[in-house]
Structure 1
Amino acid sequence: MKTFVAGLVAASVLAPVAAFASPACTSEPKDKWMSEQAMQAKVAEMGYQKIKTFKVTGSCYEIYGYTKDNKKAEVYFNPVTGAVVKAEID
């Protein structure tokens, strides 16, 4: 029983952290998403460069790269519209 309670406590502490890490970008099914190639082209058009990582995170496309001003960027995009949902620029 103690293990079960400890697990619940750990889950309640970690769940908000996991939820904060990746925003909800869309509720649309994946067949409505832009292809990865189309999204990569859109990212380049928006001025992001030197993309080190391009991946699907939850309901988002996510990149790690640089802005056109050469600042580090972690950006989450709506995979249907290509709009920026969350950006952390250093």
Structure 2
Amino acid sequence: MTKLPLAALALAVAATAGLSAPAHATGAIKCDAGPQSGWKSREALESKLTKDGWQVRKSKVDGGCYEVYGTTPEGDRVEAYFHPVTFEKLYVARRGQVLFRAKGY
């Protein structure tokens, strides 16, 4: 067996296992927020949410928005999306149940 087919086989196995697949947004919400250089920081959003009574477990960029996993002041464990420039709350869901969706999103 030559090295080329072995390398191709290794790449195919890695792709099948998801090791080389690029990350994709979940598609729940999309933000047209312009270049990231104009965004406020995720740390600033996390700080704001914490002051508002949220417990933030994780945040990341998804679909051009900030996606936050955490617990609301009411005690709901949620996935929420916020606009990265305005921090407007756009979408909040708990285990697939939509709790909030901003108009137009």
The bucket for the TM-score relative to the shorter chain is 0.5 to 0.7
Matched letter for residue 31 of structure 2: C
Cα 1:26/1:42, change in 2 over 3 Å: farther
Residue aligned with 2:45, SS: helix
Aligned match of 1:64 in 60, 69, 76? 69
Normalising by structure 2, report the TM-score: 0.59
1:3-82 equivalences under 5 Å are: 21-49=27-55, 51-82=56-87
Matched letter for residue 88 of structure 1: A
Normalising by structure 1, report the TM-score: 0.67
- Distance (whole Å) between structure 2 residues aligned to residue 19 and residue 67 of structure 1: 23
Please tell me whether Structure 1 or Structure 2 has the larger radius of gyration of its CA atoms. Answer: 2
CA shift for structure 1 position 20: 7.0
Matched letter for residue 78 of structure 1: H
- RMSD between aligned alpha carbons? 2.0
Give the conservation status (yes or no) of the 8 Å contact 2:26–2:62: no
More helix per residue? 1
Q: Which runs of 5+ in 1 are unaligned?
A: 1-17
- Distance (whole Å) between structure 2 residues aligned to residue 38 and residue 56 of structure 1: 14
Q: Which runs of 5+ in 2 are unaligned?
A: 1-23, 96-105
Cα 1:44/1:26, change in 2 over 3 Å: farther
